[in-house]
Structure 1
Amino acid sequence: MLMTAATPPAGPQGTLLLLVRHGETPTTGRVLPGRAPGLHLSERGRAQAERVAERLAGLAVDAVYSSPLERTCETAEPTAKSAGLEVREEAGLIECDFGEWTGAALTDLAGLPEWQTVQHNPSAFRFPNGESFTQMQARIVRALEVLGTAHAGGVVVCFSHADPIKAAVAHALGTPLDLFQRIVISPGSVSAISYSDGQAPAVLTVNSTSEPLSGLRA
C-alpha cells in the first residue's frame, strides 16, 4: 500500500471521491482485457467486492458510479446495496481503450519495443487504433470533476480500472503522467481524493486494501 488513510484537512468538508478498482477476474495479471465485454468477477473478485462494501460501512455515501463494464458493475453492487442506492453507469470511468492490444497476453506485450514506452514514457504513447494515456487521464479527470460538482460536499464512490485510477491519482498529486506507472492500484483497492473549492485536491489514501474507511470523514 502506497499511502495510509489520513485525517481530512481542517475546515469545511470537501467532496470525497473514493476510487475503487474492480475485483479480480479470471484473467487478472495475465491479459489486457480492455473494454471487451463478457468478463466477470472471479470468486475471489466477488469476495473483494463484498469486502469493499464492509470497509465503507459508516460512511454516508451519496452516490455510487461505475464504469459500464461488467466487472466494475459487479464490484459496485454490494456497496450500492449496503448504501441503499442504485449503481449509476458513468462512461468516463471506463477502462482505457487498448485498441489492437485488447485481449493480448501481458507476456507477449512485454516483448514488444513499444512496451518500454508504455512503462517509461506513457505520455507519448497511443494504443494502436485506441486511446492515448493523455486522453485517458483527461477523460477520467473530467468525469471526476463532473461527479464531484454534482455531489458537492458529499461522498461519491466510483468503480473503475487500474490505469484510469492511477492517472487520476497522479493528476491529484501533481505527479507527471510519465511517472504514473509507479503508482500501484490493486484489485478491490480504494483510493480517496478530497476536493474543496479553491484548494488543490488532497489525496487521503492510495491502494488501501484492508482498514475501515469511515475515518476519511471526521
Structure 2
Amino acid sequence: MTATTPSAPATPPSTLLLLVRHGQTPTTGTVLPGLAPGLHLSDGGRVQAQRVAERLAALPVDGIYSSPLERAWETAEPTAACTGLKVNEHAGLIECDFGAWTGAALAELARLPQWQTVQHTPSAFRFPDGESFAQMQARMVGTLEGLYTAHAGGVVVCFSHADPIKAAVAHALGTHLDLFQRILISPCSVSVISYVEGQAPAVLMVNSTLESLSGLRAS
C-alpha cells in the first residue's frame, strides 16, 4: 500500500469589513449632531463621497450597509452607483445617541466638567438621556459580527460615523475603550477590519483617505 499524505486543514475564509465615515456636513467639527434628522452633506462632502466611491469600486464588494441618517446614506449612494449594489439600511451603524447634548456646539460642551470624562474616561460616561460609550461600542461590534457572519469570505462596506467606527477599531485592536479617543477617523476615511471565524479580528487599515484599496482582498 502507498502511504497517503494527510491534506492540510482548510483555511477559514476571511471577511473584510470596510468602515467609512460619512462625508463633511455644514456642521462637521463644530456641532454634536447625534441622531438629529435633516443634516445633509455639504458640497465638499458630496465630492468626498464620490472620491471614496471611486476607491471602493476597485474591490469586489458583496454588500453595502449604511446608518439610517441622511449624511451616511448620501455618502453611500455614489458607491452603490459605482458597484451596482443597493444600499441596505442598518440601525446598528447609527451615530451614538448623545441625548440632551444633541445639537450642542462642541465649544460649549468643552467647557463642561463632564467633557474631561468624555475625553479621558469615556467607558464611565453616559450622555444625559442618551447612550453610553460602552453601549455604543457593544452595538457596533455586534452589528459588525452579524455582517461578517452574513457575508463570510466577502467584502462589505459599512457607512457610519466617527465615534462608532473608533469604538469598533479599538475593540478589534484589543484597546481599552478609555483610549479610543486617540484614534482619528476623518470624513470619508476608510478603516478595514478582517474577520476570520475562531480568530481575533485584524485591523488592516485605519483612517485611510488617499491609499489605493485595490490590494485588499478577502481570502
- TM bucket (normalised to shorter chain) is over 0.9
Which residues of 2 match residues 61-80 of structure 1 at below 5 A?
A: 61-80=61-80
Partner of 1:164: 164
Q: In structure 2, give the amino acid aligned to 1:159.
A: F
Alpha-carbon offset, residue 211 of structure 1: 1.4
Unaligned runs of 5+ in 1: 1-10
Identity, % of aligned positions = 79
TM-score calculated relative to the size of structure 1 = 0.94
Query: More relative contact order in 1 or in 2 (CA 8 Å, sep 6+)?
Result: 1
Larger radius of gyration: 2
Residue in structure 1 matched with residue 196 of structure 2 by the alignment: 196
**5+ unaligned residues in a row in structure 2: which ranges?**
1-10
Tell me if structure 1 keeps the 8 A contact 2:15–2:148.
yes
Once residues 111 and 157 of structure 1 are traced to their aligned partners in structure 2, the CA distance between those partners, rounded to angstroms, is 36
What is the CA distance between 1:58 and its match in structure 2?
2.0
Equivalent position SS for 1:17: strand
Amino acid at match of 1:188: C
Q: Give the distance between the partners of 1:135 and 1:97, measured in 2 at CA.
A: 10
Aligned residue type for 1:36: A
Aligned to 1:125: 125
- Alignment-mate amino acid for residue 118 of structure 1: V
Counterparts of 1:1-218 in structure 2 under 5 Å? Answer: 13-217=13-217
CA deviations 1:19-57 (Å, max 9, x no partner) are 000000000000000000000000000011001111112
Q: Residues of 2 paired with 1:130 and 1:66: CA distance? A: 21
Moved over 6 A (4+): none
Question: 1:203 deviation in Å?
Answer: 0.3
Aligned residues: 208
* Equivalent-residue separation in structure 2 for 1:70 and 1:187 (angstroms): 14
- Residue aligned with 1:138, SS: helix
Q: CA RMSD in A?
A: 0.9
SS, match of residue 168 in structure 1: helix
Shift of 1:12: 5.1
